[in-house]
Structure 1
Amino acid sequence: MKRIAILGGGESGVGTAILAKQKGYEVFVSDFGKINETYKDVLSNYELEWEQGGHTDALILNADLVMKSPGIPDKAPIVKALVEKGVPVISEIEFASRYTDATIVAITGSNGKTTTTMLTGYILEQAGLQPGIAGNIGDSYAKMVATQDIETYVLEISSFQLDGVVDFAPHIAVITNITPDHLDRYDYKFENYIASKFRIAMNQKETDYLIYDADDPVITDWLKKHPVKSKLLPFSLHREFENGAFIKDNNLVVQIDNNTFTMTTDNLALKGQHNTKNAMAASTVSNLLKIRKATIRESLEGFQGVEHRLEQVLKINNVQYINDSKATNVNATFYALDSMSAPTVWIVGGVDKGNDYRDLYALVNEKVKAIICLGVDNAKLMSHFGNMVDVIVETPSMTEAIKIAYKVAERGDNVLLSPACASFDLFENYEDRGRQFKAAVRDL
């Protein structure tokens, strides 16, 4: 019997454990921290062995295969020991894909990947396909493979998950964009991070597709130097293609082998240029999967967006409060500030991943009237933006941040939470941060 050790007892770890047991593996789950009670119950129900509060090396190093949760860095001592011993260390995406014949749509990118994944999933649901929507969001992909019979998966995949793939080959891959992010995990080398994203296409064949943003010089330069086998379907706001998606006379056009889909951009439910690109990517996927054009159109007109992504929370005294907690990097915050049409009180900060804030200077000068730094260490933000605005304050609590914002904001202003940073200094994750923001706003 083959033995699999699973590092991390969260959603992907527990899902992998269930699938591995079903496929006849001897399973051991090990978490360096604490395993959530709900997950403990699941592990017990499936009679799986587990430990928490540290790794017992002897019980892990004797495995034939190890699945590592995406949050655990390659630099972790246990991972180094496994690599030295020659034990294969893979991601949940790799493991689960070995046990399904479903059509796989895989979506990655520094920003826009959740919206594109949810939008694509929504179109397929409206078409009656019952897709599995998983990966970096929602339920565990491995658990879905173990417990449901799904014909099409739409997977949001992070670079960390791609680092652990070997043979994974999606039929349709999407790269929304690539901007510097998570550089702390890639030795602060941007090219390592780019290479990681392109692993999504490394095993694709001539009969597969790669959909990508042709306006992104990082992507187009990389493709010139490292060609892929799959068919390329670019999308762009500025250029037209024989095969791909583009804008013509205010219409979103998707052309694939003389088959054309068009709809007016005025009717897209999600506003802003970055969302037009997300819609291009999702509609290209949907056209490849032969979804009815009317269904695609109706879905793009009706989709309501993703929680914690430019989510309009409440208007109080004519001030709009906006939750963009999902903006965990500079590029995402760039989109958010760019879409502000009123003077903005900006709440920013958290765990900096090697951010370069210079890209935001012009927007901050143009749009931001006050800055509230919400983090344990705000020195870098203070030095970058201290001279740009009249009001810049530091606070370690969300409630306090909202109270200050309430005092500073005037009629017609926006209060925007768009942190540009990870959340782990003060919050469990970006969802927790976003929910605390919404709760504090409702308590005003």
Structure 2
Amino acid sequence: MSSKKGNITILGAGESGVGAAILAKKLGYRVFVSDKGAIAEHYAEELKKRGIEFESGQHDEARILKSKLVVKSPGIPETAPLIKKLREREKEIISEIEFGFLHQSGTIVAITGSNGKTTVTSLTHHILKNAGLDVGLGGNIGKSFARMVAEDPHEYYVLEVSSFQLDDCYKFAPHISIITNITPDHLDRYDNKMENYVASKFRIIQAQKRDNHFIYCGDDMETIKGLGRFKIKPHAHAFSLEHKVDDGAYYDTEKEQIVLTIDLESMNIDELALQGKHNTYNSMAAGMASRLLQIRKETIRESLSDFDALEHRLEPVMEIHGIEFINDSKATNVNSTYYALESMKKQVVWIVGGVDKGNDYSQLTPLVSEHVKAIVCLGENVQKIHDEFESEVELITDVKSMQDAVQAAYRFADKGDVVLLSPACASFDLFENYEDRGRQFKDEVRAL
């Protein structure tokens, strides 16, 4: 069967790859999906059911190199041999986010950043949904963008996009782009150069037009440096906790309110469902995006005050004998854990550790000496954490299972304390992913 669109190969068969395959088939491409690893059973079933050809455990290079277009999973690095060969032959390689963008006609709010992007994405979606808009949520969370475009199109899309997804975007131009902040993360994918990682985040604005909008944190050093390096075409709006902002948002410390000044009428918000300094930033970003889409002030206020916390992100689990347990398993880097420790009002028993991505823990030391009474190091290799904080706390122990971690933390904690799982590390030494780690934490707490 010939295809008017030609051959397309989708590399990787996770949510992003399968979504791209569904869209490609609908558009009339001859689709081939190739995954060097094993394909999850439900995705393999879905591809079979739709009559989409696929292979797993290998790459049929000869066939892939004949493709007119390649859609690459964000997990595949540029250094992969097959990608190098495709580049040598000057094949077009794009991300699933780019592919989805080229075939839709909605209004897009896209959010990236090292921390807070999932919260800002979910908050923005929550506000737009409460305003009665036809809005989809996806990208790096939930459904892939391409899948929504193919099967469940919307007038508005709120997308979380990672730097890996942005690396293969060229024409992707959201109406509103947001960079929450930029702190060292995933540097192994960027030649261990911070400026490469920053450049990757700023790709979110590369194709935006003059009538689009760019929202950024005016207190974030790396973002501010980026503003000097890259050409900013869209209207730029800052949010800040440290100084007043004319065309954006800031925090009025006297009135203890967020002030949105993004349009002619400023508005104040004093009731936030999500507590902590980082969530004040997240609420500002979501509030600004909503105002730019002409959402009523009342809807924004209500939505920011009734939003439920996300699973695995400073998620309250339960209280046992006056000890509060909080699941912050999504804190896979030092900066996320910094925010978590900073927002604690009680004495903390801290469960930390996992796969170290070249972490510098020293920035946490002042917070540890102020807030943390005991540390439980969870992981295969936690010597670095031990060495860093040994002198800051009276109690520190090493464990290799979540059950041991929760039981040790419970022993160390007294009534009125909080047990905080905020690992500052990736989870792959003992767990499938951060969700698995968070779920095991919650199961063990409930079993106490």
The correspondence for 2:90, drawn from 82, 86, 90, is 86
1:362 & 1:20 partners in 2: Cα distance?
A: 52
The correspondence for 1:3, drawn from 7, 24, 31, is 7
Aligned pairs for 1:193-208 (under 5 A) are 193-208=197-212
The correspondence for 1:258, drawn from 258, 261, 264, is 264
With 203-212 and 386-395 compared, the bigger mean Cα shift is at 386-395
CA contact (8 A) 2:347 2:417 kept: yes
Query: 1:125-154, CA deviations, whole angstroms, 9 ceiling, x for partnerless residues?
Result: 101113110011001111100012300000
1:390 & 1:62 partners in 2: Cα distance?
A: 63
- Establish whether residue 216 from structure 1 lines up as the match of residue 220 from structure 2: yes
Query: 1:143-176, CA deviations, whole angstroms, 9 ceiling, x for partnerless residues?
Result: 1000123000000011111111011111100011
1:379 & 1:167 partners in 2: Cα distance?
A: 45
TM-score (norm 2): 0.96
Partner of 1:356: 360
Counterpart AA for 1:293: K
2:79 & 2:390 partners in 1: Cα distance?
A: 35
- Establish whether residue 382 from structure 1 lines up as the match of residue 348 from structure 2: no
Secondary structure of the 1:322 match is strand
Counterpart AA for 1:171: H
Partner of 2:406: 402
The correspondence for 2:284, drawn from 280, 305, 311, is 280
Aligned pairs for 1:42-81 (under 5 A) are 42-81=46-85
Counterpart AA for 1:383: D
CA-CA distance at 1:387 after TM superposition: 2.8
1:244 & 1:358 partners in 2: Cα distance?
A: 33
Query: 1:15-61, CA deviations, whole angstroms, 9 ceiling, x for partnerless residues?
Result: 00000000111111111221111111110111011111222222222
CA contact (8 A) 2:263 2:291 kept: no
CA-CA distance at 1:243 after TM superposition: 1.1
Counterpart AA for 2:76: I
CA-CA distance at 1:390 after TM superposition: 2.4
CA-CA distance at 1:259 after TM superposition: 2.9
2:297 & 2:341 partners in 1: Cα distance?
A: 33
- Establish whether residue 134 from structure 1 lines up as the match of residue 121 from structure 2: no
CA-CA distance at 1:72 after TM superposition: 1.7
Partner of 1:435: 439
CA-CA distance at 1:196 after TM superposition: 0.5
The correspondence for 1:168, drawn from 163, 167, 172, is 172
Partner of 2:150: 146
CA-CA distance at 1:226 after TM superposition: 2.2
Query: 1:396-439, CA deviations, whole angstroms, 9 ceiling, x for partnerless residues?
Result: 21111111112221221111110111111211111111111101
Query: 1:39-95, CA deviations, whole angstroms, 9 ceiling, x for partnerless residues?
Result: 111101110111112222222222111111112222222222221221122111101
Partner of 2:375: 371
Query: 1:178-197, CA deviations, whole angstroms, 9 ceiling, x for partnerless residues?
Result: 11111111111111110100
Partner of 2:327: 323
1:151 & 1:139 partners in 2: Cα distance?
A: 16
Shift of the 410–256 alpha-carbon distance from structure 1 to 2, 3 Å rule, reads closer
2:301 & 2:200 partners in 1: Cα distance?
A: 33
2:363 & 2:91 partners in 1: Cα distance?
A: 42
Secondary structure of the 2:267 match is strand
Aligned pairs for 1:407-426 (under 5 A) are 407-426=411-430
Partner of 2:23: 19
- Establish whether residue 102 from structure 1 lines up as the match of residue 94 from structure 2: no
1:260 & 1:412 partners in 2: Cα distance?
A: 40
CA contact (8 A) 1:188 1:354 kept: no
Query: 1:320-372, CA deviations, whole angstroms, 9 ceiling, x for partnerless residues?
Result: 11100010110000001111122211111111112111110111111112222
CA-CA distance at 1:260 after TM superposition: 2.2
TM-score (norm 1): 0.97
Identity of counterpart residues, as a percentage?
Answer: 56
Counterpart AA for 1:74: E
1:252 & 1:198 partners in 2: Cα distance?
A: 26
Partner of 2:191: 187
Counterpart AA for 1:59: R
Secondary structure of the 1:300 match is helix
CA-CA distance at 1:257 after TM superposition: 4.0
CA-CA distance at 1:393 after TM superposition: 2.0
1:169 & 1:359 partners in 2: Cα distance?
A: 35
Partner of 2:318: 314
Secondary structure of the 1:256 match is coil
The correspondence for 1:304, drawn from 297, 301, 308, is 308
Secondary structure of the 1:332 match is helix
Query: 1:83-110, CA deviations, whole angstroms, 9 ceiling, x for partnerless residues?
Result: 1221122111101000001001000111
CA contact (8 A) 2:334 2:425 kept: yes
Contiguous gaps of at least 5 residues in structure 1: none
2:399 & 2:7 partners in 1: Cα distance?
A: 48
2:28 & 2:39 partners in 1: Cα distance?
A: 24
1:28 & 1:115 partners in 2: Cα distance?
A: 35
Secondary structure of the 2:436 match is helix
With 354-363 and 380-389 compared, the bigger mean Cα shift is at 380-389
Secondary structure of the 2:226 match is helix
With 156-165 and 54-63 compared, the bigger mean Cα shift is at 54-63
With 30-39 and 370-379 compared, the bigger mean Cα shift is at 370-379
Counterpart AA for 1:381: I
Secondary structure of the 2:174 match is coil
Secondary structure of the 2:319 match is strand
CA-CA distance at 1:374 after TM superposition: 1.5
With 414-423 and 77-86 compared, the bigger mean Cα shift is at 77-86
Shift of the 441–380 alpha-carbon distance from structure 1 to 2, 3 Å rule, reads same
